[in-house]
Structures are given as structure tokens and as C-alpha cells.
Amino acid sequence: MSERMAWGRWDCTRCGDTGISGQHKRCPKCGDPREQAELDAMRPPSAEDFARAAIAAPEERSLAESGADWICGFCGTTTRGTESSCSSCGANRQDKVGEGAVGPVAEAPVTPPPQADKPGGGPLGRYWQRATRARKVWTVIGAVVAVIIGVVWWGSLTQEKRGQVTALKWEHTTQLQRWGDVTRGQWGRPSERPEVKPVGARDERAGIAVTSCYQKHHSDESYACGTETYTDTESYSCGTTESCSTVSNGNGSFSQKCSTSPKYCSRNVTKTRTKYCTRPIYREWCDYRTQDWLPANTLKATGEGHELRWESLSATGDLERVQKWGTYRVISGLGEETAAHTLEVTREEYDGYQVGDAMIFTVKNIGGIDSVRRAE
């Protein structure tokens, strides 16, 4: 960190002379001593002043480093900090009324021209207008949020309503199945075994006879297949930057402290990285012949209520069999304004329902059925 000093500039309020060096305690033109107002209005040196007119002479530097000037309580003259009596009237330093301001120099803020206060105008009026608008906006937002929370809470509530069974529907499937050959496959060679045919449509065991094995695409894998270049961005040191701060010494001189820090720039660079390719992985796949019960004929019967029936199919010989299964649905509702609800049940449960049986519906306030159960 480097430090240098330079003199500021002040203007004489008596004769109007301007740009007087801060080194002078009196106006060179009229001889009037510098007073506190002129010291406080001291203009700091520019960056060029610090560079070309820095204080270097020992005597001059001693004056700049003598501390803040003090203000005489009798004549108002600013006097060097190392002196015990006023340089103009000889008054004792103990009677001083202040000292030159010491501290960082800040840029004066730009103050817009004042506007006349009028209803709704001026700084105070504009403040209240903004505050009123903000309160209105937040009031509206709060009201909307409260309404949304209330609707969501109300919609999550449920209530129980009493409905009834409106229909009972059934579907029966009868399927004739025949024991026969099928072709299947798997990864890897299966263990072969002989077929055991069914006797009386039971006690069968499917055989396995491999018909062919070959290499088949199973998956893909990634592997390193060389290198490739790509463009990347990197940061590098490209010099230094200087930052300076200026401090008033309270006596017409100013100190500037500057520090440097590395400066970093970015640039595009070409880099090399491992290149990855994809290749297929093959494994052995085997097709084989086996047996299973295959659909030969399927018939369905549907109806409502408890008059259930099955379509008739007959098996011929040991290699055929008949399989049956059914689905049973209980249809209930709350009325014409609510969609019917379908409940799939077992055959035993189905036999226990009758059209008109009471059902309890748990209904959401926002609509929709949450659950349905049989009334106790």
C-alpha cells in the first residue's frame, strides 16, 4: 500500500480569490486569515494533483503532518495544530471553538431541486401517496391469500351422505383351453427336459427343447476410445487494479492511500479430454419349444341381478380343459346429480347385495366421492 499527501484548494470569502493552496493559512492576495468556513469548504486534490504535486519537501510535509488546525474562539482564525496561541490575535489554544474535520472524503450527493409542497405533492405528499398505495396492495394480497386458504380448507372437508345400490352387474367368462406347443426364448441356454402330457387335464409338465441359440443385442456399454479437444474458459492474471481513498487531515492537506490487487481476465483455451464411445454388448439368446394351455374358444355371459349363468363349453380328451372366472360389480349413487360409483367385489360379497341397499358416501365439499361403504 502506498501513501502520498497533497494540498487542497480554498477560496477567500473576503476578496474572492480562488484556488488558494491549503498550505496557506492567509489569503496571498488580501492577507485575510483563513477561517473555519473556508477550511471546511476545502476542495480535495484531484488524482492528477496527488500524482504531480505530492508533498515531498521535509518542511512542507512537517506542516501537513502537524495535525488538525484549531479554530480561535476570539477571531475565528485557523491555527496550526502544533501552536499553542492564535497566529492572528495571540489567544490561548484553550479558548478554541473547534478543529478542522479529519476523515474520509465522500462525494457530495446530488440533491434534486426542491418542489413546492402542495396537496399530494412535495416530499411529504409523495411519501404518503406511496405508503397509501403500498398498504392498499398488501391489503388486497392478504385478502386474496386468506380467501384461497379458506377455500382450500373448506374444500378438504368431507361429509357423509346416504345413497343406495342402483344396479348389480356380473360377467362370466368360459374358456376352452388346449394343451399345445409354443415357442419361447430366454438369455442363456435353458436346461432341457421331456414333456409330460396331462392326464384328465391335470398333472402336466411342460417340456423344454432348445431349437436354436445365437448372439443377440443385449445392451450398450461406454468405453474410452481416444481423446478429443474442446473449448473452455479459464481465468488468468492480466495485471493489477488500483483503488484509492482520500482522507482530510483537517489542516488543508489530504492523504491518499492506494492499494493494488491482482486483475483477472478470462480467455478461451483449447483442452483435451478422454473421448467415450458406445458399443453393443451381445449375449447368447436361445429359442426353445415348450407347452402351455392355450385358448381355443372363449364365451362370455353378462347380466344384472342374481340370475347368474355360464356359457357351456365341453372338453374332449386329456389335452383339453375348461376354465371359468367372473367379475362382479355393485353400482350405487346419490341421485341424478352425482355420477354412479362402481365397486368391484367378490362373488361371495356380490351375493349379499340387493338393489336398494343403503350405502354411505363420503363426499368432498369441492365435489367428488372420497369413499363408499355399505351402511351398517
SS3 sequence of the chain: CEEEEEECEECCCCCCCCCEECCCCECCCCCCECEHHHHHCCECCCHHHHHHCCCCCHHHHHHHCCCCCEECCCCCEEECCCCCECCCCCCEHHHCCEECCCEECCCCCCCCCCCCCCCCCHHHHHHHHHHHHHHHHHHHHHHHHHHHHHHHHHHHCEEEEEEEEEEEEEEEEEEEEEEEEEEEEEECCCCCECCECCCCCCCCECCEEEEEEEEEEEEEEEEEEEEEEEEEEEEEEEEEEEEEEEEECCCCEEEEEEEEEEEEEEEEEEEEEEEEEEEEEEEEEEEEEEEEEEEEEEEEEEEECCCCCCCCCCCCCCCEEEEEEEEEEEEEECCCCCCCEEEEECHHHHHCCCCCCEEEEEEECCCCEEEEEECC
Residues paired with residue 108 on neighbouring β-strands, in sequence order? none
Assigned domain for 60 exists: yes
Q: Are 73 and 99 in contact (CB under 8 A)?
A: no
Query: CB atoms < 10 A from the CB of 6, how many?
Result: 24
Rounded to whole angstroms, how far apart are CA atoms 353 and 355? 7
Assigned domain for 47 exists: yes
Q: Is the pTM of this model over 0.75?
A: no
Assigned domain for 240 exists: yes
Q: Are 271 and 230 in contact (CB under 8 A)?
A: yes
Residue written as cell 489542516? 251
Assigned domain for 331 exists: yes
If asked whether residues 184 and 223 sit together in one domain, one would say yes
Q: Please report the pLDDT score of residue 210 as a whole number.
A: 98
Q: Please report the pLDDT score of residue 119 as a whole number.
A: 43
Name the domain count of the chain.
Answer: 4
If asked whether residues 233 and 278 sit together in one domain, one would say yes
Phi-psi region of 252 (alpha: psi -120 to 50; beta: other; left: phi over 0): left
If asked whether residues 218 and 254 sit together in one domain, one would say yes
Assigned domain for 302 exists: no
If asked whether residues 284 and 184 sit together in one domain, one would say yes
If asked whether residues 183 and 285 sit together in one domain, one would say yes
Residues paired with residue 71 on neighbouring β-strands, in sequence order? 78, 98
As averages over each run of 10 residues, the pLDDT of the chain (376 residues) reads 89 93 92 91 90 87 89 88 88 87 67 42 57 81 88 80 93 98 98 96 96 98 97 94 91 92 94 97 98 98 96 95 97 78 94 93 80 85
Assigned domain for 228 exists: yes
If asked whether residues 315 and 220 sit together in one domain, one would say no
If asked whether residues 213 and 318 sit together in one domain, one would say no
If asked whether residues 196 and 282 sit together in one domain, one would say yes
If asked whether residues 132 and 202 sit together in one domain, one would say no
Assigned domain for 247 exists: yes
If asked whether residues 320 and 336 sit together in one domain, one would say yes
If asked whether residues 244 and 272 sit together in one domain, one would say yes
Q: What b/e readout covers 285-312, taking b as 16+ CB neighbours within 10 angstroms?
A: bbebeebebeebeeeeeeeeeeeeeeee
Q: Please report the pLDDT score of residue 73 as a whole number.
A: 87
Q: Decide which of 242, 264, 293 is a domain's last residue.
A: 293
Assigned domain for 111 exists: no
If asked whether residues 188 and 286 sit together in one domain, one would say yes
What residue numbers bound the domain in which 38 lies? 2-101
The CA-based dihedral angle spanning residues 230, 232, 236, 238, taken in that order and rounded to the nearest 10 degrees: 90
Q: Please report the pLDDT score of residue 41 as a whole number.
A: 92
Q: Are 315 and 201 in contact (CB under 8 A)?
A: yes
Rounded to whole angstroms, how far apart are CA atoms 80 and 86? 9
